[in-house]
A and B are shown apart, each in its own frame.
Chain A
Amino acid sequence: MAIPQRKTDVGPPHYKQFLPPVIQKNYGKWKYHEVINPGTMVHVGESGDKLWTVRVASPRILATDTIREQCDIAEKYCDGYLRYTTRNNVEFLVSDEKKLEPLKKELTAKGFKMGGIGYGITNVVHTQGWVHCHGACTDASGLVKAMMDELYEYFDSKRLPNKVRLAVACCVNMCGAVHCSDIAVVAVHTKVPQINHETFKNMCELPTVIGSCPTRAISPDPAKKSIKINAEKCMYCGNCFTVCPPISIKDPERDGVAIVVGGKINSLRTNPKFSKLVIPYISNVPPRWPKVVAAIKHIVEVYAKNAKKHERIGEWIERIGWERFFSLANIDFTFQSIDDFTFMRDTMRTASTFKWS
């Protein structure tokens, strides 16, 4: 078949053609919404019109056939309209209440999982991992699958004091916005990179490689027409590897993950917060990373037991103090949790007023 003529700079299609009529009619004139259950909510317009949303989990990696299946369902119950969320869930948009229960029945029959709305755990923001990225120290999709299998009840039924937002980043580039999550897993290298001096001279620009190192650990090695790395300065960020392929940093036995907690992105009550390091290292144990999963579940449970209603993890910890968090959660406090990078001035305690545990 003939290939059509390309066009440039057409930009994305106009969104309006994808909005269901009830949204076009009530656009900007919604009055309120109610969460009916973790999988369903209803928005009510000033006009009195109603729009039901049924939210369904997604592994983010979708085969085209699964997308087609979602489309078929949307065509059957939603006049063809559907949307996806920032956290990669699918939402079916129903304007006819009579179709709501049949839709849910079909979703259940087809194995789609409804949930993720309100005070629980929804889909996990994550990066590409071994599935598709060169820098990955772990597999993001596998970790997410293992975590969510274990935390599934918080997706479809069990409730928490507030939302718990999870994320996984498969290297410190953190393409996945984990740094402001309630609990996030960040994969880390832990070893100084190796250099292939033979290929270095042909493939890499010396100044670029030296400039790439944030800790100035890299200096020229004129004899080898290459570079050397000062092991005392290197903190394994992998940036030199990114700019210069002959540098390798991957190490299956040493690569692993760290866990950070207490971040949030919205400004409700308190300002947005970064996640803070609490567990510095857990080995990669594919396919299910049991210790990582156990650690996350444990932190969720300690939070559920101790926080006040509406407190996010970071707000709860700030109220009780980090020293209390470490003792409540029974997590060892390590050197890695003390900042030795730019934030030390802000993060060391400067008063003798603290709790003993």
Chain B
Amino acid sequence: MEIAELQNKIYAFCEAAKGKKKLKEKDIIKGVSEAEGVPGDEVKKAMRLMIDVGKLMYSYGGGASSVEIPSEEYLREKGLIK
């Protein structure tokens, strides 16, 4: 699978969970890997690239870390949108 396509799947996966479940890195890697039949390492790599550019972000709450779709506030702070 093309990396861009894989990243779209990852984004969709996160979007589906938004407000329902806090996803850990592991949940995304396992979930997308199983659904798309792509090796976990590839999903991890694609996801990390998304985090590096602010398409996704690490979050933290209630004592544990998770991965989420960034808020507008976050994107503005990082200068990624105006």
Direct contact of A and B (CB under 8 A): yes
Majority-rule SS of B interface residues:
loop
Give A39 to B59 CA distance when docked, in angstroms.
45
**Is B37 an interface position by the 8 A CB rule?**
no
Give A341 to B61 CA distance when docked, in angstroms.
28
Shortest C-beta distance, A210 to chain B (Å), equals 12
Give chain B interface residues in 9-34, CB to chain A under 8 Å.
22
How many residues of chain B have a CB within 8 Å of chain A?
4
Give chain A interface residues in 242-281, CB to chain B under 8 Å.
242-244
How many residues of chain A have a CB within 8 Å of chain B?
6
Complex interface: chain B residues within 8 A of A244 (CB)? 62
Complex interface: chain A residues within 8 A of B63 (CB)? 242-243
**Is A162 an interface position by the 8 A CB rule?**
no
Write the B42-60 contact mask toward A (1 if CB under 8 angstroms, else 0): 0000000000000000000
Give A242 to B22 CA distance when docked, in angstroms.
16
Give A212 to B22 CA distance when docked, in angstroms.
15
Majority-rule SS of A interface residues:
helix
Shortest C-beta distance, A205 to chain B (Å), equals 8
**Is A208 an interface position by the 8 A CB rule?**
yes
Give A205 to B22 CA distance when docked, in angstroms.
10
Chain A, Cβ-Cβ closest to B62: A243
Complex interface: chain B residues within 8 A of A208 (CB)? 62
Give A208 to B61 CA distance when docked, in angstroms.
11
Give chain A interface residues in 204-231, CB to chain B under 8 Å.
205, 208, 212
Shortest C-beta distance, A221 to chain B (Å), equals 19
Give A222 to B22 CA distance when docked, in angstroms.
22
Chain B, Cβ-Cβ closest to A212: B62
Shortest C-beta distance, B22 to chain A (Å), equals 8
Complex interface: chain A residues within 8 A of B22 (CB)? 205
Complex interface: chain B residues within 8 A of A242 (CB)? 62-63
Chain A, Cβ-Cβ closest to B52: A8
Give A205 to B19 CA distance when docked, in angstroms.
9
Give A243 to B64 CA distance when docked, in angstroms.
9
Shortest C-beta distance, A218 to chain B (Å), equals 14
Give A243 to B62 CA distance when docked, in angstroms.
4
Give A113 to B62 CA distance when docked, in angstroms.
40
Give A176 to B30 CA distance when docked, in angstroms.
36
Chain A, Cβ-Cβ closest to B19: A205
Complex interface: chain B residues within 8 A of A205 (CB)? 22
Complex interface: chain B residues within 8 A of A212 (CB)? 62
Give A205 to B63 CA distance when docked, in angstroms.
13
Among A208, A212, A242, which residue has the most Cβ atoms of chain B within 10 A?
A: A208
Give A220 to B30 CA distance when docked, in angstroms.
31
Chain B, Cβ-Cβ closest to A208: B62
Give A205 to B17 CA distance when docked, in angstroms.
13
5 shortest interchain CB distances as A-B pairs? A243-B62, A208-B62, A242-B63, A242-B62, A243-B63
Residue positions of B touching A, CB distance < 8 A: 22, 61-63
7 additional A-B pairs beyond A243-B63, A244-B62, beta carbons within 8 Å, are A205-B22, A208-B62, A212-B62, A242-B62, A242-B63, A243-B61, A243-B62
Q: Could you write out 9 A-B pairs with CB less than 8 Å apart?
A: A205-B22, A208-B62, A212-B62, A242-B62, A242-B63, A243-B61, A243-B62, A243-B63, A244-B62
